[in-house]
Amino acid sequence: MALVTTLRRLVQNSLREYSRKASARWQRSFTVGTQPLRSDNKVTVNFINRDGEKITVKGSPGDSLLDVVINEDLDFDGFGACEGTLACSTCHLIFDEEMYKKLGPITDEEMDMLDLAYGLTDTSRLGCQICLTKSLEGMVAKVPESVADIRQTKDGSS
């Protein structure tokens, strides 16, 4: 399993492009199961999935929320179809008011695609455009339904 984990991290490394982060990860990959030596540059992100379950993961400053979902292999159906190029609305996330205000400015281009999202709210954003900073530590992002699910209203299960 260690081999797999190491290989997995190696692949993730090659995407990072920044040697400082890469070296921190490399160190961690050889200490699987122990506390990472330098955890203070990580940002905790909580996702509420479509079943209402809370999933807590960590990302690095500069990662987009879409990066986090992909890197942590979070299983949200159809999330990020256009791979973060502002050509779809499938990475739609909903925040609470306070966190929404901290997220920074939204461009016309993002709003244009966000406008197509199902269940659009005033505190909605596209995950591929939100980049992590330390000030967003502990953020909660809700993954909304992507379509009206008839099944859910029928018998409560999805």
Partner 1 sequence: MGAHKLLFSELKLWTSGRGGWIARLHKGIGACGKASLSSCSPKVCIVGSGPAGFYTAQHLIKARQDVEVDIYERLPVPFGLVRFGVAPDHPEVKNVINTFTQTAKHSRCSFYGNVNVGKNVSITELQQAYHAVVLSYGAEGNRSMGVPGEDLAGVYSAKDFVGWYNGLPSCRELSPDLSCETAVILGQGNVALDVARILLSPIDILKKTDITQPALEALAESQVRRVLIVGRRGPIQIACTIKELREMVNLPDTRPDMVAADFDAVKEALKDLPRPRKRLTELMLKTALEVPGEKEQERRSKASRTWGFRFFRSPVEVLAEPSHSRIAGIRLAINKLEGSGEGAHAVLTGEVEDVSCGLVVSSIGYKSLPIDPSVPFDSRKAIVPNTMGRVKQAAGLYCSGWLKTGPTGVIATTMNNSFDTARSLVEDMDSGTLDVSAAKPGSQSISALLEKRGVKPVTFSDWEKIDNVEMKKGESSGKPREKLLTVEEMLHVAWT
Residues that bind partner 1 (CB under 8 A): 4, 8, 11-12, 14-15, 17, 70-71, 73, 75, 77-78, 81-83, 85-90, 108-109, 111-113, 115-116, 118, 120, 146-147, 150-151
Rounded to 5 degrees, what are φ and ψ at 46?
-110, 125
* Least distance to partner 1, CB of residue 135, Å: 27
SS3 content of the chain, % helix, strand, coil (to 5): 35, 15, 50
Residues 56, 46: contact at Cβ < 8 Å? yes
- 35/153 with CB nearer partner 1: 153
- 19/135 with CB nearer partner 1: 19
Q: In a 3-state reduction of DSSP, which class is residue 27?
A: helix
- 27/158 with CB nearer partner 1: 158
Q: Cα separation of 83 and 158, whole Å? A: 26
Residues 82, 90: contact at Cβ < 8 Å? yes
Q: Cα separation of 155 and 151, whole Å? A: 7
- 40/53 with CB nearer partner 1: 53
* Least distance to partner 1, CB of residue 64, Å: 12
